[in-house]
Amino acid sequence: MTNEKSKLIGIVCERSVDFEGKLDDNGYLLDNPAVKIIKVPCSGQIQPIMLETALKNGAAGTFAVGCRMGDCHYREGNKFCRERLQGKRMPKLKPMVDKRRVQAYWLSAVEYDKLKAMVDDFAAVCDTLPAPEVKAASKAASPKP
C-alpha cells in the first residue's frame, strides 16, 4: 500500500488520536508510510483549503481527524470542522473538489487501531478512483513592450 497512487495526507487534532510511537521523524505512519500526518491544536483550525491544497499537490486523498463529537477540548472545534466539510458552514470545500477523496473521522485518543483501519479502507477506495484531472495553469499575459 505504499504505491504513489495511495498517498494520503491527514490533518489531525493533537488531542484526538494518540500517535505516540506511531510516526517517523517526518510525520509518516510507521504502519503505512504512504500516510503523512500533520497535527494541529484543534480540528476547528482545519480549513477546507488545507485539504484542497493536499489534493492539488498530488495526494490521492486527504482526511481530517478530530475529537469525538461532544468531546472537543476547545468546545466546538470538531463541530465547526464537520460543518465546513459538509458545506453547512463557511468556508466550505470548493465545488470542484472530488468529495470521494476527502474524509473526516471523529475519534478519541485510544482509537489509533480504528483510525488505521479506516485510513487503510480509504486508501483502497482512493486506489480505485480514476486519476484526478490536472488542470494546466493558465499562461499569464505577457506585458506589452
Q: Do the domain assignments include residue 144? A: no
**Whole-structure pTM value:** 0.87
CA distances from residue 77 to 16, 53, 71, 84, 99 in whole angstroms, order as listed: 12, 21, 10, 11, 21
Q: Do the domain assignments include residue 45? A: yes
pLDDT digits (tens, 9 = 90+) for 40-87: 999 999 999 999 999 999 999 999 999 999 999 999 999 999 999 999
**How many domains, the chain?**
1
Q: Do the domain assignments include residue 139? A: no
Q: Do the domain assignments include residue 142? A: no
How many other C-beta atoms are found inside a 10 Å radius of the C-beta of residue 144?
A: 4
What beta strand segments (E) does the chain contain? 8-13, 35-40, 61-66, 102-106
Q: Do the domain assignments include residue 113? A: yes
- What residue numbers bound the domain in which 76 lies? 4-124
Q: What is the CATH number of the domain that holds 8?
A: 3.40.50
